[in-house]
Every structure is written in C-alpha cells, then in structure tokens.
Amino acid sequence: MMGQLHYLLPHYYLLNALIILGRNDSEWRLRTAVLQGQILVGLLDLCWAAKFPQGLSPKLVAAAASAATLLQAIHIGLAFCADASTYTSTVAIVLHVSVLLMYIPVAQVGSNYTLQRRISPARYRILAWLSATVFALAVLIVPAAASPWVALPCSIVPSLSMALALVAPDLFGIRPYEAPSSAPEAAGAKKEIAEGAKSTCPGQLVTGLPSALEFLILGCGFGTIGEAFTDMAINLAIRSSLKAGKQDLALTNQLMVFASMILAYWSETRPSASNTKRAIWFLMGWALCQAVRIMALQELESGSVGNLLLAAMVFMDKYTGPLGAAALETALLAVLVEGDEQNKAQKQSGLQIQGSLLWTMRMIVGRMERPICQLVLLHSAGTPVALLSSIFTMLTSVMVLSILQRQSSRELKAKSD
C-alpha cells in the first residue's frame, strides 16, 4: 500500500501543489524526473530480481527505506524551495532515480508476499489510491496544503512508515506469510538456505518456457497500456486546465476518484465463491468502460470536456480500473500456478524460470506504462490515442478472458474429481 502511495503522490498531490504555488518550472522538472526515473530504474529492478530472488533481510530493507526517506526529503525540499539554478533537471532526475533505487528491495518484499499468497494485491492499491485522493482534494480545496511545510512530511510518509514496519513489525500487527508445509520440510528448507543452496522458498513458483512466454506477452506486452493511453490524455487535459487557473476539472476528477475507489474496494473485498468467476466479471466491466471512454475521447481532444462528462469518465475508470487490474493479475497468477504444476509434473525438466522474476517484470512494466504513454503524448502531436487504446484493450481482454476460462475449467474438473 505504501509503495503504491509513494508512486501516486507526485501525480495526485506534489505536481498540483507546485502549480498552485506558481512554481511551473519546478513542476515540469519534477514531472519529467518522475516519468523518466521509472524507465531508467526498470532494468536495474529486473537485474536485482534475477540476482536476489529471495530479497534482503528485513534490517537491510529497512535501511534502504530509511535512505529513501532522506533522499526524498532533500528532493522535495529543493523542488518547493530552491531557485531554478539549484533545482535543475539533472538534480531532479539524479535525486528521484536515487530514491527509486532504494525502493527496489523494499518493493520486492511486497512482490514475494503476493506470489506466496497467490492473491492479487488490488485491494492495497485501492487503499493507496484513496489515501492519495485525500491529499489531492486537500491541496485543491485548501491552498495552504500546497505549502512546503505540508508537502515535505507528506512525501516521506510512505518510505518512513515502511522502514518502521520492517524494523518493528509488531507495532503494526504485521506477521510474515508462511506457506503451509510440514515440520521436516520446513527444517530441510532452512538447512538448504543456511548452506547457500539455490532451492526456492516455500510457496515460490517456478515455471517452464511456454508459460513464461504467455506471461510475458500478456503482462509485459499488452498489460493495461490501452487504459494508460486514455488516462494520460485525460490527465494532460486536467493539467492544462489547472495551469490556466481553473480548478473545477481537477476537483471534479478527485471527487470522482474518491467515490469510485470506495465502491471498487467494496467490490474487490466482498466474499465470493470463486475468484476466477469474479475476475471474469471484473474484466467484462473494465473492457466495457474502456470502450465508452474511447468513444468519448473525441470530446476530450477537442477541448470541450465538461464537468459532467469528465465526472462520468473518471468514475467509470477508477471503479473498473482497479478491478480490471485485479482480473489481469488473477490471470497472470493462474499462468504461473499452471506453469509450476506442469513443471513439477515434468520433474523440472528443461528451462526453469523463477515466478518472482516474471512478476517483477510485470510490476516494472506496470509502473512504466503510464510514464511512457504520458511522454509520448507530451512530445508527439497527433498521436492516435483512440486507435492505440482500442487495440491494446481488445488484446488484453481476449487473452485474460481466455486464461480465466481455462482456469475455471480446471477448477470445475478438480471439483468433479
């Protein structure tokens, strides 16, 4: 949740706060650093996951989170207070990349936990979205919230809380997840790890090449790129309105985000007999929403977006968006589990690929989708947003639906057996 909040705060709060303060040059430098930083650090994140699939000890991860807190404080202090000669584009990129590098082992904790539980972390992202929306509404309704004295402590809350949670988990009621295993198996696993063996920890997924390719095509090739293009077109329209001194579109956007996220959290967390069937419904709702938003893009590109149209588009997107992401992740986890079962049935013959590496790749691509789309729209005039969004949305929907249907058939077969 806190990792997602750190990702959202610049887009929802910090950049708008700089615009309200009249620091447009600093806003542009921070925006560019945020977008480019995600792309620059992506490859290093992947290399880290390949080299250290099990991650670091909690104390070392806590130290990385503490370093990120300090670097983030310096960066935001310069963005809000320093002059243009001090807070340059180079300084902004170097500081932001340094923060993201410290976040690599921290984010790995959450990725490994997700793979061990084999449940989409969508509900935690929704909670982070709700928290970020509170900050966004505060800065739009109360201009004093744009003060550096407010922005600085708010910007270090995610990394500081993660450092404290790792150092003293009992204070937060956190307990590490442990996959079910017998005592002799657990003892044997501990012995192997102590001896430096390369075996996987309990609950780790290992898949073969066919399942890995299917995962990469869906998770890294298609993903939610279609949704990202539409989102970025809407965000840039709101940014232009805010820079012109109009806050009505931005305020409408955040109010709809808050309302739709509450509904999305309820939909994602309510009990269901089958996660697969629920994911299918989530996917269908997401695909329908994207179709409606794509048809409304003409109004958006013409500059005639009104509050009512924007409210409808944002509400549909922020309600179905997290649910669509949950369906995508459910399908990706199903691919990994199926590949792991096939790998074990074949007695681990052939090429074996760690599920943690593949999942990290998806997380990296997921974080890069919106920055890349926004950079394309910022620097390329006449981009066919509607066409690109339609193609990627259709490809994602068809592939996810196919995997979920296959998973549903496997579940029915298992019950009948």
Helical H segments across 297-384, by residue range: 297-301, 307-345, 355-379
- Domains assigned to the chain: 1-172 (no CATH), 205-417 (1.20.1250)
Strand 206-207 to 353-354 pairing: antiparallel
* pLDDT the model gives residue 317: 73
Residue that wins the pLDDT comparison between 234 and 176 = 234
pLDDT digits (tens, 9 = 90+) for 10-27: 888 998 899 888 898 999
Which residue from 114, 104, 119 is spatially nearest to 50, judged by alpha carbons? 104
Is pTM beyond 0.85 here?
no
Rounded CA separation 174/176 (Å): 7
pLDDT digits (tens, 9 = 90+) for 250-267: 777 777 777 777 887 777
Neighbours of 47 (CB within 10 A): 12
The 10 Å CB-count burial string (b at 16+, else e) for 177-196 is: eeeeeeeeeeeebeeeeeee
Non-local CB neighbours of 194 within 8 Å, separated by 6+ positions = none
Judged against a pLDDT cut of 60, whether residue 98 lies above it is answered with: yes
Alpha carbon separation from 326 to 278, 296, 322 (Å, rounded): 10, 25, 6
* pLDDT the model gives residue 152: 92
* pLDDT the model gives residue 187: 42
Angle at CA of residue 157, ends 152 and 158, nearest 5°: 125
* pLDDT the model gives residue 138: 86
Which residue from 179, 203, 224 is spatially nearest to 329, judged by alpha carbons? 224
Largest CA distance in the chain: 71
Q: Which of 1-15, 234-248, 368-382, 402-416 has the lowest mean pLDDT?
A: 234-248
Q: Which of 32-46, 289-303, 315-329 has the lowest mean pLDDT?
A: 289-303
